[in-house]
Amino acid sequence: MTVAGRKVSELARAKVNLTLEVLGRRADGYHELASLVAFADVGDRLDLTESPDWSVTCSGPLASSIVGENLVERAARAVRGQWAHSATGRIELHKTLPVAAGIGGGSADAAAALRALMALNADLRDPPAWLSIAQNLGADVPVCLTSRLSFMRGLGERVDGVAMDVRLPAVLVNPATPLATSRVFANLAAQPLPNNHVPADLPRLHSRGDLFDWALAGRNDLEAPALRLAPVIGRVRAALQFCHGCLLARLSGSGPTCFGLFETSAQAEAAAGIIARGQPDWWVRATTLG
């Protein structure tokens, strides 16, 4: 995040679910989750310029993919609803992340808007209120608000940062096939959450090796239903698995984006090049997760 005068710029980093467990369906119809979440160094860019009136405009190669109300607009409206006289302005979103992709593009954009508005309104120091706004915008928005390696639980409202500075070379691959989260959860048909449910424990992660071990031993419970709805996910995952140096290939979120973890950045860059040349219509990015 940078602030120049009354201008703020934020990177809406792509969210990657290294693991994602669906613990059950609650009585209210929502799902209890436990997920280890990392963030990429690629994302959308959000620029906020102070102005008496707020507005949101979108540009970039994937701006036309946004259908309906942008979550950034909802975020700005929610802040003004909470604090009628809060400073606001013109928001410009440069969209480079695919939508309905399982990497939190819209949620990351909304979180970036909240961070930018927080920077513009330093006098409004009310963390619970900002967190409440994030929670009301969507399950992934609270963890995207922190935009750092975290363990997410509940409906997404319980976010615990992982106190470790780690960088994981990775490749993100999206087959340009949008997949709605609601369809994936409906296809999952999760069992009701047990009455004696106990919240998941926090993982004990102290090193890069611990993080890899946890990810390798974990799973994404949405992978099977997503694969049934979008069989191309199998091709995406296989493309990553077959690349030299890939340690783990898995679906992120509800998909259809898959990620591959690699031992070195050079291996990740090489893998991204191979996949992009073989599938020029896919969205492919070498990145670093942390």
Report the catalytic residues: 15, 140
**Cα separation, 112 vs 78, whole angstroms:** 14
Nearest to 97 by CA among 46, 146, 52: 46
Nearest 5°: phi and psi at 187? -75, -25
Tokens representing 251 are 């679906």
Tokens representing 26 are 């609650």
**Cα separation, 136 vs 130, whole angstroms:** 10
Residue with tokens 């120049």: 4
**40: Cα separation from own chain's centroid:** 9
> How many CB atoms neighbour CB 198 within 10 A?
7
Q: Where are the beta strands (DSSP E) in the chain?
A: 2-4, 7-25, 31-50, 55-59, 89-94, 150-154, 158-161, 168-174, 246-251, 258-262, 283-289
Pair 222, 188: CB distance under 8 Å: yes
**Cα separation, 85 vs 247, whole angstroms:** 51
DSSP states of 101-116 as a string? SSS-HHHHHHHHHHHH
Beta-carbon contacts of 182 under 8 Å, excluding residues fewer than 6 positions away, are: none
